[in-house]
Amino acid sequence: MFGPAATQHATPGSYPGYFQATFERGLRREDAHHNPYLQHVLLGAYRPEDRPAYLRAEAPLPVPLVEDSLPAVPDLGRFDVVSLSNIFDWSDDTLVSEWATLLSREARPGCAVLLRQLNNQRDLRRF
């Protein structure tokens, strides 16, 4: 699913333990039976009453999906949220710095930038 660059910051062989600990932590919660993400993985589907809001919507949500490299996205200032997933897990510091600069210059004030780090302890706040 991912090439070597995607896991370059993880200790070799650490993913099984990471995911095991994450699932165990989720399963120990009192509300685990209502966790739609655990349901998706363990049951293969969401229980109707616990589906995420975007799946309960009666009509498609007016959310534009833009799939491209960040510098190629026109008019970044039009977004309230920019989700970069875990792209920085396999990006070098130069790219992270360039994209952080681009976002600070072009994103709307107050825009939320969502990042995800998958078993990666690199400090991205410094950018």
Alpha-carbon distance 66 to 107, whole Å?
15
The helix/strand count (H/E) of the chain reads as 4, 2
Give the residue from 67, 50, 116, 119 showing the smallest Cα distance to 88.
116
Question: For residue 80, what pLDDT is reported?
Answer: 92
Give the tens place of pLDDT for each residue, 93-124: 999 999 999 999 999 999 999 998 876 778 89
Q: Long-range contacts: 97-101, Cβ < 8 Å, 24+?
A: 97/127, 98/71, 99/70, 99/71, 100/127
Examine the fold and report which residue of 40, 59, 78 is the final residue of a domain before the chain moves on. 59
Give the tens place of pLDDT for each residue, 29-42: 999 999 999 999 99
Same-domain check for residues 48 and 74 = no
* Element at 113 (helix H, strand E): strand 112-114
Same-domain check for residues 72 and 51 = no
Same-domain check for residues 76 and 54 = no
* Count of structural domains, the chain: 2
Range of the domain at 41: 10-59
Question: For residue 30, what pLDDT is reported?
Answer: 98
SS3 state of residue 95:
helix
Q: Which two tokens stand for residue 55?
A: 């799946």
- Averaged confidence pLDDT in the chain: 89
Q: What is the mean pLDDT of residues 42-65?
A: 90
Alpha-carbon distance 8 to 91, whole Å?
9
SS3 state of residue 81:
strand
Decide if 3 is inside a domain: no
Same-domain check for residues 89 and 124 = yes
Q: Which two tokens stand for residue 46?
A: 């969401």
Same-domain check for residues 72 and 125 = yes
Same-domain check for residues 85 and 53 = no
